[in-house]
Chain A
Amino acid sequence: MTVRASVETLRLEGVRKSYGVGTPVETEVLHGIDVVIGSGEFTALVGPSGGGKSTLLNLIGLLDQPTGGKVWIQGVETEKLGDAERTRLRGRSIGFVFQYHYLLPAFTALENVMMPMLAVRGFPDDAMRERAAKLLDEVGLTPWRDYRANDISGGQQQRVAVARSLAMKPALVLADEPTGNLDTNSADGVFDVLRQVNESSGTTFLIVTHDPRLAQRCDRIIELVDGRLVADRPNTNVVRRSGAAFSEAGAARLVTPSPELK
């Protein structure tokens, strides 16, 4: 396996993906993507529906394998890794936030955040619990940490999902429309958390979004249309804050509209 300098969190070279390989309906949805994302970047991936954004995210997240080209995660070439190695790399280096948060309803908010650590390490311990509690505190959910995942609001669930994605201190967090089904306030709140984490820990973020307003809050914008990269530009005019800050007490403030939006 080739190891590259680790300042690159992600490198894609000529990545292609076809569905229905070997059948008459074989369709290529990604036609050779080349992109490099450096450590600590906060990047938006935009483009129309059906453009291949989610497919690309699945390939980067090692949930799927490309039909052509190569994917490096933190300098590790992933093409030849077996399922177990991919799983290990995914567990330790990549965090996921999905549009429909997908918390495990059988567990509490705190346990959901512990879950990635538990899955990777096998047995629970106090350090996991403390880390999960700290993460929940950072997203302003300490009062709700012992609630079942289904007993809290959508915005709160998504913040739990954000905390969960950070549990293993991943180098890269992939977020697939993390605010897609949230109201504007909750969306801003979740986005604030992402930016805060990015700034404080240097975690790399790649965020798929349909919302141009949120894209404007990223450092770099990549546009994917019909399976091709059509634009890749730095965002010089970054809107850093929505104004709704997170803290234990700040969680309540989320319901008030943020000044920028007025």
Chain B
Amino acid sequence: MSRFTPFEWIAAMRFMREGFVQTLLIVFGVGLGVAVIVFMAAALAAMQNNIIRRTLNYMAPIVVIPPQQVARPLREDGKGSAVLVQPRSQQLRSIDQWQKVRSQIERLPDVTAVTPVVSGPGFALRGDANKAVNITGIEPETYLDVIALGDKIVDGRLSVASSDIVIGIELAQDLGAGVGDKLRLTTATGASATLNVTGIFDFGNKRVNESNVYISLHVAQSLLNLLGGVSSIELRVRDPFDAENVAQVIQDETGQEADSWIRTNAQFFTAMLAQTLTNRLIRFFVGLTAALGIASVLVVSVVQKSKEIGILRAMGTSRGQVLRLFLLQGAVMALAGSLLGSGLSFVFLALFRSIARNPDGTIMFPIDIEPSLIVTTAVGATLVGVLAAALPARLAAQLDPAVAIRG
């Protein structure tokens, strides 16, 4: 009994020590619950981050393109029902006054980097091999702020001067081309250029490694017949999850079409949302189960100790003190449980690391349990503990001392 420990704390600790087995069981119960919650939250976050990171590797969060061209029927009196309107085929066009659009976008607060891109279909030829590719003309100074292409170079260097081309590792294999070799790019317009392979990249995605080739903006403009124009403006935003909102703003401000990666990957996002919801639901029920466990242990304790509570009241203990005595027990059990649970979650993590491995023995995806997650969970669990103790604590505080002592 130190002089700084209040009566409620001393009594709460003794009561819990007295019911040691009960206390221990419930602390373990809460601990398991917390471990599941922490581990699941960490695993889910890691999984989603992993997918997001891999996606945003090669894909800008927002791509601005010119609005779709629509066929406009000449008759507008509504009586032209006999007229068959064929949808307009979409030709490769430049964004109208793209420099102006670009500076408009650059002024938006949530946008961190903007780059113009010319992209379109073409063929890469070398010797007998030819492959369909997606020609991407970039302005390296700004493009690298949007897509970290420089980090993905596995051979050679990132250089897209007028006669340079950077290709993916799969395409390099298909064409049998290495750094320093030449290859030819042609497009449907008949334009072609012979370029030097200066670098080979690997985005960890076969489709991208096979099809994307990076060249300088002006070479792409001439190959794709878009002199002076750009086919899209790509940009990076502060919060990738806010991309859809930013895209809406851009669309409203510029009149161009802005596609966020969220819309482009709608299915993936739906799946992710479902995962997140399921995870929340599980967390809620695990939390509820732990709370019910704490509440039931404390209700039993109140019943068992009703005589002692009556005596405490007779000795001048106030209702408030009795209330706090039991709220404290709930809080302490939950906090102890959450600390134990955090420790257990690291055990789960170690188990997971030893089980979830790729066939080649590398870790499937890295999970990290962040300290903030543990702190949040501990605080949350303690609150749940106090809430769970509310009912038993009220029961105890409302005990009529005369009845309790007569018992």
Instruction: Kindly list 20 other residue pairs between chains A and B, CB separation below 8 angstroms, not including A105-B18, A106-B18.
Output: A58-B402, A61-B314, A84-B320, A87-B313, A87-B316, A88-B316, A90-B316, A92-B316, A96-B314, A102-B307, A102-B311, A104-B14, A105-B308, A119-B312, A119-B317, A119-B321, A122-B7, A123-B4, A123-B5, A124-B7
Q: Are A106 and B315 in contact (CB under 8 A)?
A: no
**Contact between A120 and B406 (Cβ–Cβ < 8 Å)?**
no
Q: Write the nearest CB–CB distance from B7 to chain A, whole angstroms.
A: 5
Contact check, A104 vs B318: say whether CB atoms are below 8 A apart: no
Say whether A44 faces chain B, with CB atoms less than 8 Å apart.
no
Distance in angstroms between the alpha carbons of A87 and B312 in the assembled complex: 10
Closest chain B CB from A184 CB (angstroms):
26
Say whether A91 contacts B315, CB under 8 Å.
yes
Residues of A within 8 A of B10 (CB): 118, 124
B55 vs chain A, min Cβ distance (A)? 58
| Chain A positions 84 through 106: 1 when the CB is less than 8 Å from some CB of chain B, otherwise 0 | 10011011100010100010111
- Flag whether B1 is at the interface (Cβ < 8 A): yes
Contacts A119-B7, A124-B10 given; does A102 touch B315 at CB 8 Å: no
Q: How many A-B residue pairs have CB under 8 A?
A: 85
B contact residues vs A (CB 8 Å cutoff) = 1-7, 10, 14-15, 17-18, 307-308, 310-321, 400-402, 405-406
Residue of A nearest to B311 (CB): A102
Main secondary structure of the interface of B (DSSP, over half): helix
Neighbouring B residues of A116 by C-beta, 8 Å: 315-316
In this assembly, does A107 line the interface, its C-beta being within 8 Å of a C-beta of chain B? yes
Pairwise interchain contact A106-B14, C-beta atoms closer than 8 A: yes
| Smallest CB separation, A58 vs chain B (Å) | 4
Q: Do B402 and A64 have beta carbons less than 8 Å apart? A: yes
The distance in angstroms between the C-alpha atoms of A192 and B370, with both chains bound, is 66
Considering the chains assembled together, what is the distance between the CA atoms of A239 and B143 in angstroms?
A: 106
**Could you tell me which residues of chain A, from 139 to 193, have a CB within 8 Å of some CB in chain B?**
164, 168
* CA A116 to CA B315, docked complex, whole Å: 5
Residue of B10, B314, B401, B406 most packed against chain A (CB within 10 A): B314
Q: A54-B406, A84-B318 are in contact. Are A123 and B311 (CB under 8 A)?
A: no
The docked-state distance in angstroms from the alpha carbon of A220 to that of B359 is: 94
Cβ contact within 8 Å between B308 and A83: no
The count of chain A contact residues (Cβ–Cβ below 8 Å) is 34
Which one of B3, B14, B311, B316 has the highest number of Cβ atoms from chain A below 10 Å of its Cβ?
A: B316
With beta carbons under 8 angstroms apart, the residue of B15, B319, B405 that contacts A102 is B405
**Residue ID in chain A nearest B318 by CB atoms:** A87
For residue A90, which residues in chain B have a CB less than 8 angstroms away from its CB?
314, 316
Q: Pick from B4, B308, B321: contact of A104, CB below 8 A.
A: B308
Knowing A106-B14, A107-B14 touch, does A119 contact B316 (C-beta < 8 A)? yes
Q: Is the CB of B1 within 8 A of A63?
A: no
CB pair A98 B311 closer than 8 Å: yes
What are the residues of chain A within 8 A of B320 when measuring CB–CB? 84
Complex Cα distance A224/B371, Å? Answer: 68
Tell me which of B3, B5, B405 contacts A63 (CB under 8 A): B405
* Segment 69-92 of A: residues with Cβ below 8 Å from B: 83-84, 87-88, 90-92
From the candidates B5, B17, B405, name the one contacting A124 in the complex (CB within 8 A). B5
Distance, CA A174 to CA B160, complexed state (A): 98
Q: Which residue of A lies closest to B314 (CB)?
A: A96
**Residues of B close to A211: CB separation below 8 A:** none
Q: What separation, in Å, do the CA atoms of A88 and B311 have in the docked complex?
A: 14
Q: Which residues of A contact B7 (CB under 8 A)?
A: 118-119, 122-124
